[in-house]
Amino acid sequence: MKVLNEPSARLQSPGPLQRFSQSWKSAALTLAIGLVLLFCLPRVLDDFTLVQATIYVVMSILAVSLGFIWGYGGILCFGQSAFFGLGAYTYAIAVTNLGDSTVPFVLAIVVPAVFAAALGYIIFYGRLSDVYMGVITLTVTLILFNLINSTAGPEWKIGVAPLGGFNGIPNIAPLNMPGNVDDVIGPRGLFELSLGMLLLVYLLLRALLAVKLGRVIVASKENEQRVLLLGYDARAYKLFTFVLGAAIAGLAGCLYANWGAFTSPTIFGLAQSAQIIIWVIVGGLGTLVGPIVGCVAIQWLTSQIGTQQVINSNLVLGAILVIFVLLVPKGIVPGCGSVGAAMAARMRRRPVVADQHKLHKPSDEIEANTLAIDSHRETSQ
Amino acid sequence: MDLAAVILIQVLYAIASLVVISSGLAVIFGMMKVINLAHGEFMMLGAYATIEAIRVGINLWIAIFVVAPLAVGVIGIVLERIFIRHLYGRMVDTMLATWGLSLLLIGVVTSIAGNTTAGVSAPLGNFTIGAYSVSAYTLVIIAVGVVLALALRWVLLHTSLGLIARGTTQNPKMADALGINPGVVYSVTFAVGAALSGLAGGLLAPLTGVVPTMGGAFIAKAFITVIAGGPAILVGLISASALFGTINQIATFVTTPVLGEVALLVAAIIMLRLLPQGITGRFFKRSL
């Protein structure tokens, strides 16, 4: 049951940093930065750079979806790219059939969510542990990859949309204003829509985490047994978290299909799944901004590696993943945050560490009890 | 009648190949509770070791049965000492770290060998049953599957090495108190698992194209077999392989190979819903 982000740290000491990251101030700060970017970037950047920036934003939405279900729901999903790919394919197929993009946009969110509900039912109501969860989600992604990959012939089509197999689906129609097929979104519009969606998703998740529903979700991650004893059906809450994450990933997939007007089975591939995990680990588990930072940093790094021939990108990504798991398990954002907090504390010349130990003695005991229950449960299994 | 014989051989082949590709993972997961996501890459290294050995003039069978397991076993020990041993008891972290290792190994091999397909042709040629032609190499895989299962059973039950390994996995502190260094036992177990993966890679090298990313094709099947098998390493491995191999081959026969694989994986997911502890969590509980 040990997850990278030690829950005990948060239980024991809601220090100034923790309080800041959970308060409305940090949400407002992030929102302000986002709005500034939303209004300034399209005015500053040329079209080409803006299109490049759009893919960072789209992938950030995907990163946030995993950051939410893993960091807050404790659900280690190795196949978040399955929902991403489903969103992209659903949009592509539906928009080719329907013409108008309003319904396809909604479908690209609903279909992955329904799929996640069915898969999540098997996983959570079967009470499979995190490790099996990881393996099953990985397997499902590979099933989808194999399935879509083998649909190259002209006989494979849904409605009038050929699936294209390993060739993918080219020339996907862009989003249009609801009801007006000719008024399509341009590169600038897509950037604004993507960044707007990212901010919306971020705010929605922050709001969710602030209300009771979100608290039960986090509690189910920290100690599922205690949540059950308090009368909440942890399985249902986990299922909800999983479905919400899939819906967000589907939204990202829809925007991705718009961005390149193309989708292919590689978005279901192992490499894509691994990347999402790396973004979240590097950025920091248990935050919503962390996955965005990690996503942008790693995406930038991969594109830099792509410009030269000496080092292979798999090699670098693999090394980063190993190093972060072994040496920086908290990730960049919480890591920087605690360094910042320590420096601030030193400037105020207050022995923070000793203080916290004195103040939070009772919660240490609670933590010890929790561990005792956990270990009891593990041995009894 | 001929058709029935051919189908029987194919089903046995599917079962044996599942045993072969999953045994290394079964040893590492079953004994050490480490989920090794780099399993597919260990197989890939075994396949490359075989091909390189053949290229320098070593006999094909020696390359498969000696060079590949030895090479990957040594790599396994090195990786265990450097990375894995820091992560015992932290299953999720181990999964992530081994996934990193898997990407790292793909990257290293791509840098050295290039992203091209290498391969050797399957030895022994074909034989015919009535109107059907069957590759003789199929029979080799079936034989290796059987020998592997018997050998695992013999090592675990009848050698002191197996006794020490089982004792250490059940109670490492007690083993430590009795003068056995658990660290060494884990290293050896990991190396044995890696060597088995290497052997599997070497065996499959004549059947599949050898590319740095070939591991991904086996990893899902191997995992699902080991997990569906449940806590008993050997009986779980064999029963799950028998179940999924049969489903895979029959679905392949009725439809296409791709749908055969899909049928295998879907069957596995449904089965885990019905038997979350795996087959040996419900049946054959007291077996090995």
More confident residue, A22 or A163: A163
pLDDT band at B276 (very low <50, low <70, confident <90, very high): confident
Question: How far apart, in whole angstroms, are the C-alpha atoms of residue A339 and residue A86?
Answer: 40
In chain A, the residue whose alpha carbon lies closest to the alpha carbon of B87 is: A326
Q: What is the pLDDT of residues A133-177, one digit of tens each?
A: 888 888 888 888 888 888 777 777 777 777 877 788 888 888 877
Average pLDDT, chain A: 80
- Domain count of chain A? 1
A132 touches B at CB < 8 Å: yes
Residue A282 has pLDDT above 70, yes or no: yes
Question: How far apart, in whole angstroms, are the C-alpha atoms of residue B36 and residue B32?
Answer: 10
Structure-token match 């083998």, residue found = A150
A150 touches B at CB < 8 Å: yes
Size of interface A-B (CB pairs under 8 A): 132
Direct distance between the N- and C-terminal alpha carbons of chain A, in angstroms, rounded to an integer: 13
Please indicate, yes or no, if residue A57 is contained in any of the structural domains: yes
Question: How far apart, in whole angstroms, are the C-alpha atoms of residue B137 and residue B145?
Answer: 13
In chain A, the residue whose alpha carbon lies closest to the alpha carbon of B221 is: A139
Which CA distances in Å does A365 have to A229, A360, A373?
Answer: 19, 9, 12
Please indicate, yes or no, if residue A344 is contained in any of the structural domains: no
Please indicate, yes or no, if residue A346 is contained in any of the structural domains: no
Residue A65 has pLDDT above 90, yes or no: yes
Q: What is the ipTM of this complex?
A: 0.81
Please indicate, yes or no, if residue A151 is contained in any of the structural domains: yes
Q: Residue B129 in 3-state DSSP?
A: strand
Cβ-Cβ contacts under 8 Å, B107 against chain A: 312-319
Please indicate, yes or no, if residue A56 is contained in any of the structural domains: yes
Q: Which of B108, B256, B272 sits opposite A315 (nearest CB)?
A: B108
Q: What is the pLDDT of residues B222-242, one digit of tens each?
A: 888 888 887 788 888 888 888
Write out the DSSP string of A240-262: HHHHHHHHHHHHHHHHHHHHHS-
- Interval A308-321 mean pLDDT: 80
- Are A291 and A59 in contact by the 8 Å Cβ rule? The answer is no
Q: Which of 183-222 (A) contact B at CB < 8 A?
A: none
Residue A373 has pLDDT above 60, yes or no: no
A142 touches B at CB < 8 Å: yes
- Are B48 and B113 in contact by the 8 Å Cβ rule? The answer is yes
Torsion angle of C-alpha atoms A111, A116, A119, A125, degrees rounded to 10: -130
Name the nearest CA neighbour of A2 among A381, A284, A375, A349: A375
Q: Say whether B92 and A322 touch across the interface (CB within 8 A).
A: no
pLDDT band at A185 (very low <50, low <70, confident <90, very high): confident
Cβ-Cβ contacts under 8 Å, B100 against chain A: 317-323, 325
More confident residue, B88 or B147: B147
Cβ-Cβ contacts under 8 Å, A318 against chain B: 100-107
Average pLDDT, chain B: 85
Closest approach of chain A CAs to the CA of B1, in angstroms? 32
Q: Say whether A315 and B104 touch across the interface (CB within 8 A).
A: yes
Of the given ranges (A50-59, A310-319, A365-374), which has the lowest mean pLDDT? A365-374
Closest approach of chain A CAs to the CA of B234, in angstroms? 19
Question: How far apart, in whole angstroms, are the C-alpha atoms of residue B171 and residue B17?
Answer: 32
Instruction: Provide the pLDDT for residue A128.
Output: 76
More confident residue, A12 or B199: B199
- Interval B24-52 mean pLDDT: 89
Instruction: Provide the pLDDT for residue A379.
Output: 43
What is the percentage of chain B residues whose pLDDT exceeds 90?
17
Which CA distances in Å does B187 have to B32, B42, B79?
Answer: 10, 16, 10
Residue A372 has pLDDT above 70, yes or no: no
Instruction: Provide the pLDDT for residue A318.
Output: 87
Widest CA span of chain A, in angstroms?
73
Q: Which of B103, B224, B266 sits opposite A318 (nearest CB)?
A: B103
Q: Say whether A138 and B223 touch across the interface (CB within 8 A).
A: yes
Q: Which domain holds residue A186?
A: 30-267
Q: Say whether B106 and A314 touch across the interface (CB within 8 A).
A: yes
Q: Which of B100, B220, B268 sits opposite A321 (nearest CB)?
A: B100
Q: Which of A139, A270, A312 sits opposite B107 (nearest CB)?
A: A312
A140 touches B at CB < 8 Å: yes
Q: What is the pLDDT of residues A89-147, one digit of tens each?
A: 999 999 888 888 888 999 999 999 999 999 998 888 877 777 778 888 888 888 888 88
Please indicate, yes or no, if residue A338 is contained in any of the structural domains: no
Cβ-Cβ contacts under 8 Å, A319 against chain B: 100, 104, 107
Structure-block tokens of residue A348:
């105020």
Residues 6 or more apart whose Cβ sits within 8 Å of residue A301: A316
Q: Say whether B104 and A325 touch across the interface (CB within 8 A).
A: no
Please indicate, yes or no, if residue A206 is contained in any of the structural domains: yes
Question: How far apart, in whole angstroms, are the C-alpha atoms of residue A191 and residue A202?
Answer: 16
A280 touches B at CB < 8 Å: no
pLDDT band at A18 (very low <50, low <70, confident <90, very high): low
Instruction: Provide the pLDDT for residue B122.
Output: 72
pLDDT band at A309 (very low <50, low <70, confident <90, very high): low
Model confidence pTM above 0.80: yes
